[in-house]
Chains A and B, each alone.
Chain A
């Protein structure tokens, strides 16, 4: 069946089973491949997107849940890479393989929106994404740096 989605400010009409996870609609039908599939059971966070500004693991969110909400993916930040969080990420050269980083950035951005100047303990509690290359050391530094940039 057809339903409407708003993703990164664009309106899309999608023809799919509404129970299809939002991840697969985003990746395969809208062609936005920055959001990644890794575990499929909402454990790793590689598929994190925002629904009305809140982080969700899109591999377990039926697309129908996103109807009427504003969906933001990594492509919705800045394709030129000039969003403050992207600038901070580049400053610390955070990614290694990079596969988890879209989700890591979206989770971190959600944290910064809720908690503009997070402590290390707040980062520990909120950032539960998995990075197999273990870029965590730089992720933490980049979150603190992004907090500064976003305040400015």
Chain B
């Protein structure tokens, strides 16, 4: 099993969610996060005081999938989240040791 952690632009969340649903990925967790990569932040000015805001709002999507679907899922997320501009985000992939469904103790890929 693999865990996919995708950091994306907040306005791309709906597109990514729909695309994942379209290929049958049901379980996702999202969180509102702030951060930056190569994208520079923006400037805010309040009565002449300038603030450089370099931690920008992003959305983090986490989902765990069977190894066999890794390529398909990462390509789906990339395609849905891409604008082609700097700041589109990144996808990180981790190995997952096990998964357990709390309701009935299903484990492994059966729990996904």
A and B bind: no
